[in-house]
Amino acid sequence: MPRNVDPITREGASERIAFLRGELARHEHLYYVEDAPEVPDDAYDALMRELAEIEKRFPELRTPDSPTMRVGGDVRAEFKRVVHAVPMQSLDNVVDLAGVEAFLTRLNTFASSPQAVVCEPKIDGLAINLTYEDGRFVQGSTRGDGSVGEDVTENLRTLSSIPLLLNAPFPSGRLEVRGEVCIAREDFARLNEQREKNGEPFFANPRNAAAGSLRQLDPAITASRPLRAYLYHIVNALSHGIARQTELLDRLALWGFPTQKREEACASFAQVSDYIERWSAERFHYHIGTDGVVVKLDDLKLREELGSTLKAPRWAVAFKFPPEEKRTRVLGIEITVGRTGVLTPTATLEPVELSGTTVRRAVLHNQAEIDRKDVRVGDFVWVRKAGEIIPEIVRVDVEARTADLPHYHMPEDCPVCGSRVPRIEGEAMLRCINSSCPAVIKEGLFYFASRVGMDISGLGRRTVDALVDAGRVHDFADLYTLTVDELAGFDRMGDKSAHNLVAAIDASRARPLEALLVAIGIRMVGKSVARALAGHFGSIEKIRSASEEELALVPGIGQVVAASVRAYFDDPHNMQLLNRLAAQGIRMDSPDVFISGASLPWVDKKIVFTGELERMSRADAQELARALGAQTPDAVSAKTTWLVAGDGAGSKLEKARRLGVQILDEPAFWELLESAQKGK
Ligand code: IVH
């Protein structure tokens, strides 16, 4: 391979770029589509780094189809609308084999001859439409209402399995392909685990996670999610010389698209019903979620003749799988105590296999839910997975209740610390209000250490349990007094881990104010409220001394949140804890964002950022500007005050020049920012 073509010259760079892009595309295809990588990850990373470096030196050679663009471009304010020239229809559903047979009969009657059909797993994902011009990916959209979708091109570009350039010989001109974006079951489990660690809310199921991830205004977030795409349809396939669905799928694969490769051509109802029966079981072992089987006419010419109704094509149906339900027994009801002290009842079950995993527990939420379903310990119950993921009890098999089982009542005392749990007016749940309850302390510490909080890696559940159980840690402040020696003495913690943990705890002292505000667990204060508070007040002291009315005036903070913040600071225990944290050197203010009162020097400024900044990410710089009152839209317009141009600025810079918008380089921006911060 032509290694080390000296990329000093533009020509050399261009040649090397072409080579690297070809290689990267090939490796991406092998890895993401074929599942058969040829080189180790670091060899791929090295090629990518080299390409990025050359493109950085020659920004004019960077094009949207470069694999370096998969990391996610600019953040947008909203999605553009895309009109689907050929509507993206849904499918008619059938729920039993008789429905499938009726469909086949209709096809055969229409054609006056027995027709072959193709069966494919129906992917439980999000429909997408991809447009290619001369083999180059130019636009990707969601289905929307079927006629008009959203332009998610930049987000789809970040999916490594979607080819940016098709393998030759691809059709010249326009090609539209359709398929589904989804998240594999294993990736989904890992994603939720990660979210738990970061203190972020769970996704209910892979479909929601895929939809939420694809419809992000910031493509970098999409890039960070394990999205996959599978294609199964070509719009106007006949005009590309394709006559059958089987051929269509082969062609997609040849061009480099990921396809499921689980299709089967069937010549009779017996074959179709055999496929459906096999998949009714197989689906629980399939790597992605499927909610049925799609049965489609193989002959594309005949499809045209059949046409479609307003809602769905006449040439296909979806056989929908019934949600799997299994019968098992309730062995007990356990109560867990969460970070905020809420007592949650969970049924422990006789283990049962359901949709590919062993189910041992089902959350019951609260007393009202237990009463509604009348679940009692010892009952036989039917369970299923809500959204194919979270086990739930559907109903009790009351007839099988032989003995006179007692009703279940939530405990009156916290099962962990034994203190009385008062029933709180207007709340469906019970809450342990003992702030020294070990369960509350442990959950609180785990959350304190999470990524959105103080980001102390290495402080997992096991370590937290050990430290609290040993009576060594009672609250957040105690963490900062831990030494390497004593940590190394704890079960399963080696010298190196002890060192790393102490270093991580130490580094967390400098976490920004907004992270501290999240970490201490004020009720209703998540990331965005914390950011608003930190940006507005600039220090714990100023937040503490603000009245409820003043708090409620902060944009993004309502009356209820203001009351919760006020209540937190009115509690002397919390103030003591904050004082101890301050004494341990934890940062209690944001020197970068120091705003007194309501004076916002940049309220009249509209600042647009473009390119890469050296000092911090664009998002952080925008936040600093917003804290001074500025607006930070994504697009340049005649109303833009300044365009801050970092490294590699492109079309926004040109537009700003054309409109006569004042352009600032990075040092000029920091200078203005610092003087605005001081002036307030
Ligand atoms: S064929 C124009 N095949 O299910 C193509 N659809 O509930 C007609 N879907 O709108 C659909 N897997 O988004 C087809 N293998 C598959 C599919 C599939 C999932 C989606 C598709 C459709 C929806 C209907």
273-310 tens-digit pLDDT: 999 999 998 998 899 999 999 999 999 999 999 999 88
Average pLDDT over residues 117-125: 97
Please give the residue that has the higher pLDDT: either 559 or 563: 563
Exactly one of 56, 80, 122, 326 is catalytic; name it. 122
CA of 672 to the centre of ligand 1 (A): 54
Kindly tell me if the per-residue pLDDT of 492 is higher than 80: no
More confident residue, 561 or 649: 561
Taking each continuous run of H as one helix and of E as one strand, the counts in the chain are 25, 20
Average pLDDT of the chain, as a whole number = 89
| Dist. CA 486–CA 457, nearest whole Å | 18
Burial 444-483 (b: 16+ CB within 10 A, else e): bbbbbbbbbbbbbebbeeebbebbbeeeebebbbbbbebe
120 lines ligand 1 (CB under 6 A): yes
Q: What is the pLDDT of residue 387?
A: 56
Res 354 pLDDT > 70: yes
- Tell me, using a 6 A CB cutoff, whether residue 122 lines ligand 1: yes
The pLDDT of residue 2 is 47
Atom of ligand 1 at shortest range from CA of 296 = 1
Q: pLDDT tens across 59-115, in order?
A: 888 888 888 888 766 767 788 999 999 999 999 999 899 999 999 999 999 999 999
The answer to whether 443 and 338 have CB atoms below 8 angstroms apart is yes
- The answer to whether the CB of 648 falls within 8 A of the CB of 600 is no
Q: Which atom of ligand 1 is nearest to the CA of 260?
A: 15
Residue 264 neighbours by CB under 8 Å, 6+ apart: 118, 119, 271, 275
DSSP bridge pairs for 665: 645
Cis peptide before 169 (omega within 30 of 0): yes
Closest ligand 1 atom to the C-alpha of 233?
Answer: 5
Asked whether the predicted pLDDT for residue 486 surpasses 60, the reply is yes
| Strand blocks (E) in 242-379 | 264-266, 290-297, 316-320, 325-337, 342-354, 357-363
Q: Are 504 and 457 in contact (CB under 8 A)?
A: yes
pLDDT at 596: 37
Are 216 and 157 within 8 A, CB to CB?
no
Tell me the two tokens of residue 517: 């505000």
DSSP SS3 for 385: strand
Higher pLDDT among residues 561 and 583, named by residue:
583
Residue in 460, 127, 171 with CA at minimum distance from that of residue 318: 127
Residue 274: per-residue pLDDT? 98
Higher pLDDT, 79 or 128: 128
**pLDDT band per the 50, 70, 90 thresholds, residue 597:** very low
Write down the pLDDT at residue 629.
79
Which residue, among 581, 620, 522, has the nearest Cα to 543 in the 3D structure? 522
What is the per-residue pLDDT for 595? Answer: 39
115 CA from centroid of ligand 1 (Å): 20
Q: Which of 123, 130, 145, 176 to mutate to test the pocket of ligand 1 (most atoms within 8 A of CB)?
A: 123
* Helix, strand, coil % over all residues of the chain, rounded to 5: 40, 20, 40
> Where does the pLDDT of residue 6 fall: very low under 50, low under 70, confident under 90, or very high at 90 and above?
low
Residues facing 647 on adjacent strands: 612
Q: Atom of ligand 1 at shortest distance to CA of 122?
A: 12
pLDDT exceeds 90 at position 322:
no
By mean pLDDT, which of 200-214, 259-273, 325-339, 468-482 is the weakest?
200-214
DSSP 66: S
Residue type, 360: R
Output the pLDDT for position 468.
95
Q: pLDDT at position 263, please?
A: 97
Distance 123 CA to ligand 1 centre (A): 7
State the pLDDT at residue 644. Answer: 93
Query: Would you call 373 a catalytic residue per the annotation?
Result: no
pLDDT at site 555: 77
| DSSP class per residue in 129-143 | EEEEETTEEEEEEE-
**Predicted confidence band at 1 (pLDDT cuts at 50, 70, 90)?**
very low
- Per DSSP, 29 falls in state I
pLDDT reported for residue 594: 38
- For the segment 132-139, the average pLDDT, to the nearest whole number, is 95
Are 183 and 124 in contact, with CB atoms under 8 Å apart?
Answer: no
Minimum CA distance residue for ligand 1 atom 5: 233
In sequence order, the 6+-apart residues with CB closer than 8 A to the CB of 574 are 520, 568
* pLDDT surpassing 50 at residue 381: yes
SS (H, E, C) 455-502: CCCCCCHHHHHHHHHCCCCCCHHHHCCCCHHHHHCCCCCCHHHHHHHH
Half-sphere exposure of 475 (CA within 13 A, CB side): 15
Q: Does 91 contact ligand 1 (Cβ within 6 A)?
A: yes
Query: Considering all CA atoms of the chain, what is the largest pairwise distance in Å, rounded to the nearest integer?
Result: 87
Neighbours of 433 (CB within 10 A): 15
> What mean pLDDT is predicted for residues 224-253?
96
Residues 473-484: tens digit of each pLDDT: 999 999 999 999
CA 318 – ligand 1 centroid, Å: 8
Phi, psi of 322 (to 5 degrees): -70, 150
Residue nearest to atom 15 of ligand 1 (CA): 122
Which of 294, 300, 306, 315 has most ligand 1 atoms within 8 Å of CB, for mutation?
294
From 90, 91, 130, the mutation candidate for ligand 1 (largest count of ligand atoms within 8 A of CB) is: 91
HEC profile of 626-668 = HHCCCECCCCCCCCCCEEEECECCCHHHHHHHHHCCEEEEHHH
Give the span between the Cα atoms of 106 and 487, in whole angstroms.
73
Q: What is the pLDDT of residues 643-670, one digit of tens each?
A: 999 888 888 888 888 888 888 888 889 8
